[in-house]
């Protein structure tokens, strides 16, 4: 499933490659992915010129001279910018441009191609309820997002109405970097742990964003992303050693998804983690100074020697 690193990358590519192009025609092969009838969608988009593209969570928003084009790739898919005679066989929608190229849109399931009139984005129910983009939230804003929450840490990350753009793929390493068990309750987090989770979101997403997303996703020209399996810390590495402590990474069903984590670095009970750290910490040997033995009381020995006889010289009278 494309997540923030992939969607943000596609937004940048669309901004650079599609801005200023005019839609000559539209092909719609899966009506149930639309928020209008195929005829209504064609009327809205034919002749429109594309402008800037932004993203919010897993949605792409492209401004046009006739409203907004919204694309969501759902559980997986791609968008390919190709010549009209090179269209891929599998596709759900195609935008034909006046320069001979076309944008082919394909998704496996649960994808969307929507149109929203100018000034009506707030009425688009599916995107209007999204929380802030995960990388746009400041530390103080993040603290407020978590204030009063009682659910599990992973459930919070995956809830797009709380914070948008994080899916199951990147959640594993984010929680590992934060040192949090996926089922750890938010109301048990200390202030430092909340700040650590905010930082872990950035540290878990930015490396993939810099590499244009995961290797199993493709950009507009069909090139694979640069974030590979070797870049992943614990996600999908069941049975492999933890990169920090060497313990075996485990897989556990948490809610509707599977989670991968290190049971030693991410214990459900933080007190056990602290105890484990204390046991693992090398103890400096400190020798106590030897106690001074009390001095023995000595009693003077009795002089048993016989006194010397005094011999007086007799004076001769």
Nearest to 266 by CA among 192, 182, 180: 180
226-285 pLDDT tens trace: 999 999 999 999 999 999 999 999 999 998 899 999 999 999 987 765 555 555 554 444
Tens-place pLDDT, residues 79-135? 999 999 999 999 999 999 999 999 999 988 889 999 999 999 999 999 999 999 999
Q: Does residue 2 surpass a pLDDT of 80?
A: yes
pLDDT of residue 242: 98
pLDDT of residue 141: 98
Contact criterion met (CB below 8 Å) for 130 and 59:
yes
Read off the pLDDT of residues 62-82 as tens digits, 9 standing for 90 and up: 999 999 999 999 988 899 999
* 184-230 confidence digits (pLDDT tens): 999 999 999 999 999 999 999 999 999 999 999 999 999 999 999 99
Q: What is the pTM of this model?
A: 0.84
pLDDT for 265 equals: 97
- Examine the pLDDT at 317 and tell me if it is beyond 50: no
**For the purposes of burial, counting CB atoms within 10 Å of the CB of 213, is it exposed (0-12), middle (13-18) or buried (19 or more)?**
buried
Mean pLDDT of 35-58: 97
Q: Identify the pLDDT of residue 37.
A: 96
Task: Compute the residue count for the chain.
Answer: 317
pLDDT for the residue 311: 43
Q: Check: CB of residue 158 under 8 Å from CB of residue 244.
A: no
Cβ atoms of residues 71 and 126 within 8 Å: no
DSSP, residue by residue, 257-298:
EEEEE-TTTS-SSHHHHHHHHHHHSPPPP-PPPPPPPPPPP-
CA distances 173 to 139, 146, 262, Å, are: 19, 20, 10
Kindly state the average pLDDT of the residues 147-171. Answer: 97
CA-closest candidate to residue 16, choices 221, 225, 227, 222: 221
**Residues 195, 206, 165, CA angle at the centre, nearest 5°?**
80
pLDDT on residue 271: 74
CA 277 distance to own-chain centroid: 25
Enumerate domains of the chain plus CATH numbers.
4-128 (3.20.190.10), 139-275 (1.10.8.50)
Q: Return the closest-CA partner of residue 35 out of 10, 72, 4, 79.
A: 72
| pLDDT tens, residue by residue, 3-42 | 999 999 999 999 999 999 999 999 999 999 999 999 999 9
- 134-145 per-position pLDDT tens digit: 999 999 999 999
Give the position of tokens 């898919």: 77
Segments in the chain forming alpha helices (H): 4-18, 38-45, 125-128, 139-146, 153-158, 168-178, 191-210, 270-280
- The phi-psi region of residue 128 (left if phi > 0; otherwise alpha if psi is between -120 and 50; otherwise beta) is alpha
- Cα separations in angstroms, 150 against 134, 173, 313: 20, 22, 115
Helix axes 191-210, 139-146, angle to 10 degrees: 120
For residue 67, CA distances in Å to 13, 47, 118, 152, 278 come to 20, 12, 4, 39, 60
């Amino acid at each position: 499933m494309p997540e923030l690193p992939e969607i943000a990358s596609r937004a940048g590519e669309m901004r650079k490659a599609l801005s200023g192009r005019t839609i000559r025609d539209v092909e719609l092969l899966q009506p149930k992915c639309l928020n209008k009838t195929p005829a209504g969608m064609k009327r809205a988009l034919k002749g429109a010129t594309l402008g800037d593209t932004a993203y919010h969570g897993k949605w792409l928003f492209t401004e046009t001279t006739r409203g907004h084009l919204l694309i969501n790739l759902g559980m997986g898919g791609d968008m390919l910018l190709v010549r009209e005679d090179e269209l891929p066989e599998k596709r759900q929608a195609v935008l034909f441009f006046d320069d001979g190229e076309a944008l082919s849109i394909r998704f496996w399931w649960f994808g969307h191609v929507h149109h929203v009139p100018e000034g009506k984005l707030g009425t688009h129910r599916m995107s209007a309820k999204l929380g802030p983009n995960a990388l746009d939230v400041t530390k103080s804003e993040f603290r407020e997002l978590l204030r009063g929450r009682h659910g599990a840490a992973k459930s919070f990350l995956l809830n797009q109405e709380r914070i948008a753009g994080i899916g199951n793929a990147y959640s594993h390493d984010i929680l590992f970097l934060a040192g949090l068990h996926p089922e750890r309750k938010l109301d048990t987090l200390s202030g430092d742990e909340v700040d650590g989770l905010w930082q872990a979101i950035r540290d878990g997403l930015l490396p993939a964003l810099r590499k244009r997303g995961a290797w199993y996703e493709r950009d507009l020209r069909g090139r694979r992303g640069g974030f590979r399996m070797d870049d992943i810390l614990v996600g999908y590495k069941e049975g492999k050693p933890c990169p920090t402590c060497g313990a075996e990474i485990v897989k556990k069903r948490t809610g509707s998804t599977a989670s991968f984590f290190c049971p030693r670095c991410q214990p459900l009970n933080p007190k056990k983690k602290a105890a484990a750290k204390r046991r693992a910490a090398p103890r400096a040997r400190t020798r106590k100074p030897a106690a001074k033995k009390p001095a023995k009381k000595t009693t003077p020995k009795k002089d048993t020697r016989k006194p010397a006889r005094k011999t007086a010289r007799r004076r001769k009278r």
